[in-house]
Amino acid sequence: MTASKQRVSYFYQPDVGHFYYGPSHPMKPHRIKMAHHLILGYGLYRQMECYRSHPASPNEMSAFHSEDYINFLAKVTPDNLRGYSNQMQKFNVGEYTDCPVFDGLYEFTQLYTGASLDGAVKLNRGDADVAINWSGGLHHAKKSEASGFCYINDIVLAILELLKVHARVLYIDIDVHHGDGVEEAFYCTDRVMTFSLHKYGDFFPGTGHIKDTGAKEGTGFSVNAPLTSGMTDDAYERIFKPVMDKIMEVFRPGAIVLQCGADSLTGDRLGCFNLSLKGHAECVRYTKSFNVPTLVLGGGGYTIRNVARCWAYETSVLLDAELPDEIPYNDYFEYYAPDFKLHLTPEQRENMNTEASLESVRVDLLTQLMALKGAPSVQMAEVPPDFEVMKEDANAERERRSTKESRDGEGMND
């Protein structure tokens, strides 16, 4: 591993924190703005390249999502939704679902998605080693359906972007919920491996069984660690690190997407794990240590003061920067009362995951990955041939254009 400092790019859109799902809804985009202000307060912005991302276009979204679904999201508003009742049912949006229609819904999806795409492009060009978008990571959205507070799946779109340059992309999901939308999108391909650690059993979305390992060419490339309540830092690490080691050995990804849902932290409003900031961020630190181009995204997280703490701390981990435990004064300082400290103390409660159950998950996943050793994908050239062809076509096109321009230029000089 090289000792040189990794180049980190940070993508943020100031408006993204102003959207509001509704009064009793647990998803609060405001947490992204809070995290941003902590990043500013700690001075971390000075150590990264900071960019205002572009809003994703309908055309960019249609790389994964169906056009009728995108058109619906672009048109529906709280004022006209009565005229869309059939489509709302079809696309799982609106009243009686967990995906409400709110003011600026489509613009919100454009902002968080554009930032993830910008991060992926930055990595593809080799202009950064790590790209961060805390507003992204909405892992439940399907091709033609909203789900679990997610409307557009920025992760799938970013992975598709990375696949233009990299033969294999690894997706890691440390949210307390299973990354079902991403797994489903790539379930039948060996070019994307998905690794999700999540609460399983009587818990949303209900998928992510250890025996769900992929299909067709993708058999063995979906890696699921189903866990139960009370996961501690130590227990989490004992699954994450050995499985991660084996994945890197067997799959050898050219790029990684890491979804850092903060609802796996202790004290989350919807989650039931018991991780500290250090335990959660250890996954980030360990992933970074492999020195593979990495897109780092947000995700769930419903105790918003802790979400902001988590993502600010993980930004510091990605920058190899030490942070003092005292929260710096910022616009949202009062949210961090009563202690005004960065780090969290796990709750005094039982870890329902036993030594035996954790060992069983670890052994099953390592066995699954061992079976992939020597699988065709491992022999795959680093850049897939169709990309090489596209590159040649693009070069030929540029060649033609420059020849034409120089001819035109000569004509103009006559």
| Whether 140 is catalytic | yes
In b/e form, how buried is each residue of 208-230, taking b as 16+ CB within 10 angstroms? beeebbbeeebbbbbbbbbbbbb
Phi-psi bin for 410: left (phi > 0), alpha (psi -120 to 50), beta? alpha
What is the Cα–Cα distance from 183 to 266, expressed in whole angstroms? 26
Q: In 161-293, where do the E strands start and end?
A: 169-173, 192-199, 222-227, 255-259
- In the sheet with 192-199, reading across from the earlier edge strand, the strands are 49-52, 8-12, 130-133, 294-297, 255-259, 169-173, 192-199, 222-227
Omega prior to 338 cis, within 30 of 0: yes
Catalytic position from the list 140, 166, 177, 178 = 140
Contacts of 286 (CB under 8 A, 6+ apart): 240, 241, 244
Nearest Cα neighbor of 58 from 41, 38, 72 is 72
Angle between helix 105-124 and 154-162 (nearest 10): 20
Q: How many residues in total does the chain contain?
A: 414
Q: Which residues are catalytic?
A: 140
